[in-house]
């Protein structure tokens, strides 16, 4: 099974070619702007490194959010175009799923929260389970931390401090930004049926920040 995965949900963009549990090639560009220009060359580079054409992959995967309004659409648009051109399925992966998948297996075995800073004084919190959709909330409104909690995402330090102030215990998982290689592993599990389906469409928890023209 070969999966070409794309991510531009937060302050970096990446592309990875994954095959049977191994990341054959991955490229990452840091920064929260310019994803639309950076991502197509990254996808071409990982395919070239592996010596494959896009038609040789079995599926496409894209990180669907929560995250940057334009970044999410950039990754999905490119993945959708490749899926249409090759006739391969397109699998959605949430930002939190990609963050969690980058943890060591021992850390994934316990509770994990993914926190994304929405830059507007709130945190988008993604927990994991059938009845735990991502929510945007103030740090004062965090739920109680379960035992053994591991925190990931760019807002993980904020979550840690807020929980500690209330006497809660957690630790940082050391994964601040999602990457395409980890997203591909989630997509593979979804294709194998060990994870429920996830529509390949943007996942926005809050409306985008829009400023009127000056």
Q: Each residue of 111-123: pLDDT tens digit?
A: 999 999 988 889 9
> What pLDDT is stored for residue 155 in this prediction?
97
In a domain, 87, yes or no: yes
> What is the CATH classification number for the domain harbouring 20?
3.30.420.40
> What is the CATH classification number for the domain harbouring 135?
3.30.420
- Note the pLDDT tens digit of each residue in 156-166: 999 999 999 99
In a domain, 203, yes or no: no
In a domain, 108, yes or no: yes
My answer on whether 163 and 103 are in the same domain is yes
- pTM, two decimals, is 0.93
Percent of the chain with pLDDT strictly greater than 90: 86
Domain count for the chain: 2
Please check the confidence at residue 174 and state whether its pLDDT lies above 60.
Answer: yes
In a domain, 197, yes or no: no
My answer on whether 44 and 139 are in the same domain is no
Residue 66 to residues 58, 144, 204, Cα–Cα distance (Å): 25, 22, 5
- Note the pLDDT tens digit of each residue in 18-36: 999 999 999 999 988 889 9
My answer on whether 90 and 146 are in the same domain is no
In a domain, 201, yes or no: no
SS3 for 187?
Answer: helix
Q: How confident is the model at residue 210 (pLDDT cuts 50, 70, 90)?
A: very low
My answer on whether 71 and 19 are in the same domain is yes
Residue 11 to residues 17, 123, 155, Cα–Cα distance (Å): 20, 15, 12
Q: How confident is the model at residue 214 (pLDDT cuts 50, 70, 90)?
A: low
Contact 67, 9 (CB under 8 A): yes
In a domain, 103, yes or no: yes
My answer on whether 151 and 74 are in the same domain is no
Encoded tokens for 199: 């529509």
My answer on whether 76 and 138 are in the same domain is no
Contact 200, 91 (CB under 8 A): yes
> 184: part of which helix (H) or strand (E)?
helix 180-192
In a domain, 202, yes or no: no
């Amino acid at each position: 099974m070969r999966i070409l995965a794309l991510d531009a949900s937060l302050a970096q963009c990446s592309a990875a070619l994954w095959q049977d549990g191994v990341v054959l090639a991955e490229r990452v560009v840091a920064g929260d702007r310019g994803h639309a220009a950076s991502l197509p060359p990254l996808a071409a580079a990982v395919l070239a490194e592996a010596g494959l054409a896009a038609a040789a992959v079995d599926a496409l995967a894209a990180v669907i959010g929560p995250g940057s309004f334009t970044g999410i659409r950039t990754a999905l648009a490119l993945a959708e175009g490749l899926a249409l051109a090759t006739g391969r399925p397109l699998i959605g992966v949430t930002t939190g799923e990609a963050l969690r998948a980058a943890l060591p297996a021992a850390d994934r075995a316990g509770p994990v929260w993914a926190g994304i800073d929405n830059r507007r004084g709130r945190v988008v919190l993604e927990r994991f389970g059938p009845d735990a959709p991502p929510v945007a909330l103030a740090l004062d409104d965090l739920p109680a931390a379960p035992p053994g909690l591991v925190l990931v995402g760019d807002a993980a330090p904020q979550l840690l401090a807020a929980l500690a102030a209330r006497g809660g215990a957690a630790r940082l998982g050391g994964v601040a930004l999602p990457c395409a290689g980890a997203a591909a592993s989630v997509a593979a599990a979804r294709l194998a049926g060990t994870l429920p389906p996830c529509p390949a469409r943007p996942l926005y928890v809050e409306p985008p920040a829009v400023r009127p023209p000056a």
